[in-house]
Structure 1
Amino acid sequence: MKYRILYLLALFPITSAFSQSDLMKEAPVREIDFQTYLNEVLDNNYELASRKYNVDITKSEIDVARKFPNPNFVLGNQSADISSKHLPQQWYAGFQGTIELGGKRGARIDYQTAVADQSRAQFADFLLQLRADATITYVNTLAIMLLTKRKEESYKSLFQLAESNAIKLKFGDITELDVTQSQVEANLMKNDLISSESDLRAAALNMILFMCKKDRSRLFYPQGDLNIQPKEYDLEKLISFALENRPDMIAARYDKVSSKYNLRLTEANRVPNFNFEVANNFYTRSTNATGPSPSYYALTYFFGVTMPLSNMYTGDLEMAKYRISKSEVDLEAAKLKVEVQVKTAYLQYQLAKEQLKIYKSSILADAEKVFQGRMYNYRRGNTTLTDVLAAQRTLNSVYFAYYHDLRNYVTKVVELQRAAGIWEISI
């Protein structure tokens, strides 16, 4: 029985080492710092590029609004003699056209300008949201990477402990149960490490989703340590800044402006247009015996106004007025939303900052010190394996909680800046 256990334990280091090398097999990896990553997102993100075209389209629509009705050039024969009675013929050349009244062209330009301004504000809001979402993805990936490194260190430590115990068993220094327990602990940590590395690759793929890299065979791992110095914010100043400068607030105000210009345009479109025609007529000489006449030129002109009979229906005016009322309600709702979001983000930031303060003490160093001390005493036979494993679990728990709270803190910083409409984060 003893030789069977020794045989299995002899295989254990080889199997563990082989599994460990398998963990390192992955797609090519390149490290990327935060600013480079963010620049890649802003330069290559497909949805951002699509939203940018919306801005270009609305800008082009301003030029479309500047267009006016083109006049028509007319040329023809209005009276051609086909009776062979030598009557005069009438040739004419002139212009027909429409003159827009009621300030239609100016109203169109003002309306499309307001729409373009609103589109730019909406693009800025999307940019703010994209930057925040991309940053949170980077932070999550970095936190998972730090956690994975911590688990790898723990696995190496437990793996070495299991190998050491296998050697001690040969000399009868420890029991078979201690060897088995150290082996089980190492395998459990290895399994946890595999899961963490899988999470890391999945998070790295999410980074590629934001960067829209064409070469998707390469993974990008973040750099840094998430150690961002806490900063004091003035809640009232954040709210005031957000209400004035947050892109979605600016878009809501432009929506109100465009609604008013839309009413003005609707009213202008109800004003009849002025139609005209001016032509120069040439009458040929007539040799008809009954009514001979010489050739001559004559100027003809016509003026007309469209009869606005359909103006008895006022649905277009009512729609435009309802749109103004809706934009005013939307603006008030946006103000309330901004204020609540800033206050919520601020409270969550303060809580996350308080949770992180505990790690500013010596808790991490103390947990490491306890584990190293337990390991030192165990090697000299002054403590039990249970004490060593308990210290290892405590050390892992402290670091895992630290990385969780650290990620939560940085995420809350990003969310607070998103809510306030500011951007001053650097990782």
Structure 2
Amino acid sequence: MGQKRQCATTIINTEQMKKYIKMVISMAILHLSYTASAQEIDTLFTKRKIDYATYIGLVGKNNLEYSAEKFNINIAEANILSAKIFPDPELGFGFADNGQRRMNMGYGFNSELSWTLELGGKRKARIDVAQNEAQLTKLLLEDYFRNLRADATLAYLLTIQNRHLLDVQFNSYQQMKKLAEADSIRFRLGSITQVDARQSKLEAGTMLNEVYAAQAEWKTALANLSLLLGHREADTLLYPKEDFTGFDRNFILQDLILTAQNNRSDLKAALQHKNVSQSLIKLAKANRAIDLGLSMGVDYNSYVRNVIAPTPSFTTVNAGISIPLKFSNNRPGELRAAQYGMMQAEQLYRQTELTIQTEVTQAFYNYEAAQKQVSQFNTGLLAEAKAILDGKIYSYQRGETSLLEVLDAQRTYNEVQQNYYQTLYNHAAALVELEKAVGIWDINF
């Protein structure tokens, strides 16, 4: 009787050993297929690593829109040269013939050189306007780069965030794919129902689609870096090296507002716009002054052979001054327009000053909130969510919990990770926006 029991036990152990060997072989095969699938998901493409310092330097040199804006400086300098030009002189020639051939009345030639003498300081006023406009153009270009630098930095940070979000989706897919493969084996061994095996396989397929979507967003962000750099290699994407580090700062709001009022290029441009308006008023007043027309001419009359009144040939020299009658001074439209422009520039300057104060205040509070959110994650939220997920998976594999609980834990862990990386991005972006609002820049990570 004991011998029969021993034989039965041996048979059972043999069957269990066969099942164990079968499971190990199946897991090995599935592991190989999983590795191949992972390689297929992370598609290879040509990429060139670039650090932030190099990237932002190339943006300043190669960005096409910024390069186009730089031509405004050349245009403004050319306008200064144009403003320095004196009025051109005029040279005229004439011929006279009375048409009396029978009476031999003769003919004549005349020539005249005329020039406008500008009075009232018109030329100096034009030069002042052109120089002030050139200075305004330089400040506007500086403000353009202030915004471009911030936008380029945000684009760089976005690629880092999208890479982390892709990793979250991909790791989640890996976890679910392993679970689906294990469920397939457990179903064949009779440990779970076919519905549970199908459910885990369906979830893995759904997560794979999310991986593809995250991958597309990441590559789209990488392509945007090439646009900002004026990069023309369509088959190569720039790949950032850095991570979300080095974005902690301590600021005092009142100091930031004072610094912004001293540093912001758009406020300097608003002040310079007032200078341009003042120079336009001076130009309008100068244009109301009377200009003198100076002229000098030579006339030649040929010999008149008329028998009644013969006249020898002669040459005359004349000079003259012409004074325009400035009836247009009774209609001071240009002067009034310049004066209203000055009043408008004053209001815009005050509005810009108020806007800067508001922008700095808002950016400061947003940065403070982002700092608090980052510190919240440092209390162990990620580790707690990971521990819950691992516990649910372990319990599910032992048949102590349902697949739905595992999926809920997986989604919670994904959301915590996604919120973490989005919070890191928001923290870095808040610092970028704050320094952009203040008009300072010390970002280098």
In which range does the TM-score fall when normalised by the shorter chain?
A: 0.7 to 0.9
Cα drift, residue 66 of structure 1: 0.5
Aligned equivalent of 2:62: 44
- The answer to whether 1:412 aligns with 2:443 is no
Q: 1:78/1:270 Cα in 2 relative to 1: closer, same or farther (>3 Å)? A: farther
Partners in 2 of 1:202 and 1:289 — Cα distance? 99
* Deviation digits for residues 334-365 of structure 1 (CA, Å, limit 9, x no counterpart): 11111111101111111111111112333334
Q: Per-residue deviation at 1:389?
A: 4.9
Q: Whole-Å Cα distance in 1 between the matches of residues 139 and 163 of structure 2?
A: 36
Q: CA deviation at 1:388?
A: 5.4
Residue 120 (structure 1) aligned with residue 138 (structure 2): yes
1:79 to partner: Cα distance? 8.4
- Give the structure 1 partner of residue 337 of structure 2: 319
Aligned to 2:264: 246
Residue 398 of structure 1 corresponds to which residue in structure 2?
A: 416
- Consecutive unaligned residues of structure 1, counting only runs of 5 or more, are 1-5
- Residue 151 of structure 1 is matched in structure 2 by 169
Partner in structure 1 of residue 51 of structure 2: 33
Structure 1 letter corresponding to 2:115: G
Deviates more, 1:337-346 or 1:162-171: 162-171
Q: Secondary structure at the match of 2:250?
A: coil
Which structure has the bigger radius of gyration?
2
CA distance in structure 2 between the partners assigned to 1:90 and 1:180 by the alignment? 112
> C-alpha separation between the residues in 2 aligned to 1:374 and 1:81?
119
The 5 A counterparts of 1:376-387 are: 381=398, 384=401, 386=403
Task: Tell me if 1:303 matches 2:326.
Answer: no
Q: Distance in 1 between matches of 2:305 and 2:180?
A: 127
Alpha-carbon distance, 1:81 to partner: 10
1:161 to 179, 186, 190: 179
Query: What does residue 233 of structure 2 align with?
Result: 215
Aligned mates of 2:375, 2:232 — CA distance in 1 = 42
Please tell me whether residue 132 in structure 1 is matched to residue 182 in structure 2: no
Q: Give the whole-Å Cα distance in 2 for the aligned partners of 1:369 and 1:229.
A: 29
Select between 285-294 and 70-79 the one with higher mean Cα deviation: 285-294
User: In structure 1, what is the Cα distance between the partners aligned to 2:260 and 2:293?
Assistant: 51
Could you say what the CA RMSD is over the residues aligned between the two structures, in angstroms? 3.4
Q: In 2, Cα distance between the equivalents of 1:146 and 1:24?
A: 14
**Aligned letter for 1:48?**
Y
In structure 1, give the amino acid aligned to 2:378: K
Instruction: Check conservation: 1:142, 1:221, Cα contact below 8 A.
Output: no
User: Which amino acid in structure 2 is aligned with residue 337 of structure 1?
Assistant: T
Once the two structures are TM-superposed, the CA of residue 156 in structure 1 deviates from its matched residue by 1.7
CA contact 1:98–1:273 (8 Å) conserved in 2: yes
SS at match of 2:154: helix
In the alignment, the residues of structure 2 paired with residue 229 and residue 210 of structure 1 have an alpha-carbon distance, to the nearest angstrom, of 23
Q: Among 226, 232, 235, which residue is 2:244 paired with?
A: 226
The aligned amino acid for 2:380 is: S
Q: How does 1:319-398 map to 2 (within 5 A)?
A: 319-369=337-387, 371-372=389-390, 381=398, 384=401, 386=403, 389=407, 391-398=409-416
Q: Is the 8 A contact 1:80 1:90 kept in 2?
A: no
Offset of 1:118 from its aligned partner?
1.1
Matched residue type, 1:312: N
Q: Secondary structure of 1:422's match?
A: coil
Residue aligning to 2:87: 69
Relative distance call for 1:350 and 1:294 in structure 2 (3 A) is: same
The equivalent position to 1:198 in structure 2, one of 187, 208, 216, is 216
2:9 is aligned to none
Name the aligned partner's letter for residue 357 of structure 2. Answer: E
TM-score (norm 2): 0.82
2-structure distance, mates of 1:225, 1:405 = 13
> By how many angstroms is 1:408 displaced?
0.9
State the Cα distance separating 1:290 from its structure 2 match: 7.8
Report the count of equivalent residues.
419
- Aligned partners of 1:90 and 1:283 also within 8 Å: yes
Deviation at 1:374, TM superposition (A): 5.9
Aligned to 1:3: none
Secondary structure of 1:331's counterpart equals: helix
Q: Percent identity?
A: 29
Residues 68-114 of structure 1 show CA distances to partners (whole Å, capped at 9, x for unaligned) of: 11223456667899768888987666632111111000000000111
How far apart are the structure 1 equivalents of 2:100 and 2:256?
Answer: 86
